[in-house]
Chain A
Amino acid sequence: MSITVELPPEMEERVRQIPDLKERVTAFLRDQADCEEWRQRRYSAKARTIAEESLAEAEALKAQGLGRGELFRRFFELHDRITRAL
């Protein structure tokens, strides 16, 4: 398997200076593959789907331009309702 990665121009020269780039990238990808396998084993598909969807919801809230105060008000309202039911 080979991968082509387009680097931003400001990185290119600096990355060229790395002597064992291939080994380092391989080690990083091995680490990430381990992380991904662990993640798949640990969390249910449903939890992962909702986590993904929460990203879209966060983007939608962000687009509404709500201030930090309002976000915290909503957070605590939901948090209190959830923790009371636990």
Chain B
Amino acid sequence: MPACRAVLDTNVVLAAQRATNPASPNREILDRWKLGEFALLYSADIINEYGEKLLEHGFSENDVRSYLALVRLLGERVDIAFFRLRRYPGDADDIAFVLCALNGNATHLDAVCGQAVAAPETVREYRMLLYGTGEHKGLDEAGRPLRRGFSAQQIQAVLERKGRLTRWQMLRCRVRYFSDGAALGTRAFINEIFAARREHFGAKRTSGARPLRGVDATGLFTMRDLRVDAIG
């Protein structure tokens, strides 16, 4: 039985083109579900929610029925034993998902409030998994590992850093902050650009500098808070 128990919002499961593109985080989630990396939790209300959204989009009743039947068979049903929450989510669309997560002891709840999956979290978990299982095994007569992998010191370092990249490791990756981050530099530098180009930003935004996600980049900030595939 998978250790992770996830509840997926409708916009993750049915994310239009993004969910059919093999490189999309949404698709990756579904593929990881298929691989048995987590149990997909659903409640009667989530089935209703998925069904309502599919009907709204004009899909045939047969397709909707079959889709829901397959979710029922492949997912794990959660009965809503307690309905009262101390505080309900602002968006009524999210209530069914929060109830299911709480009643079903979920470990992950994706896309509440319409946010996409936090890719840096996935990257961090992946790095920890990779280093956790990738230790080199045995040594030959010359002291070389029989199975190539990471040394105990390297593994310890990654686990202690909770999977975050160092600045130098980051430079060996594809870093979207360099292309899509708009500006990169100290907090003062980014805020200066923000003030100079204030008209390009929304009325609610009060500052320019945003920390880089998934990397220990003390003192380095970006203009755009990239949430998906920031570093890969």
Contacts and interface: CB of A to CB of B under 8 A. Distances in A.
Interface of A: 28, 31-32, 34-35, 38-39, 42-44, 46-48, 50-51, 53-55, 57-58, 61-62, 68, 71-72, 74-76, 78-86
A48 B48 contact: yes
A70 to B, nearest CB: 10
Interface residues of B, number: 40
Contacts, number: 109
Contact of A47 (B15, B52, B69, B74): B52
Interface of B: 13-17, 19-20, 30, 34, 44-45, 47-49, 51-52, 54-55, 57, 59, 61, 63-74, 80-84, 92, 95
Nearest to A48: B48
A76 B33 CA distance: 12
Nearest to A54: B68
A76 B16 CA distance: 13
B65 A53 contact: yes
Of all A-B residue pairs in the complex, the 6 with the closest CB atoms, nearest first, are A54-B68, A35-B83, A57-B69, A86-B16, A58-B69, A58-B72
22 contacts: A28-B81, A34-B83, A38-B95, A43-B49, A51-B44, A51-B68, A53-B65, A54-B66, A58-B72, A58-B73, A61-B69, A61-B70, A62-B73, A71-B70, A72-B34, A74-B66, A75-B70, A79-B13, A81-B63, A82-B14, A83-B16, A86-B16
B48 A82 contact: no
Residue picked from A51, A58, A74, most chain B C-beta under 10 Å: A51
Contacts of B57: 85-86
Nearest to A53: B65
A14 to B, nearest CB: 17
B66 A78 contact: yes
A47 B92 CA distance: 17
Contact of B63 (A32, A38, A61, A78): A78
B14 to A, nearest CB: 6
A79 B67 CA distance: 7
Nearest to A80: B20
Nearest to B96: A42
B128 to A, nearest CB: 27
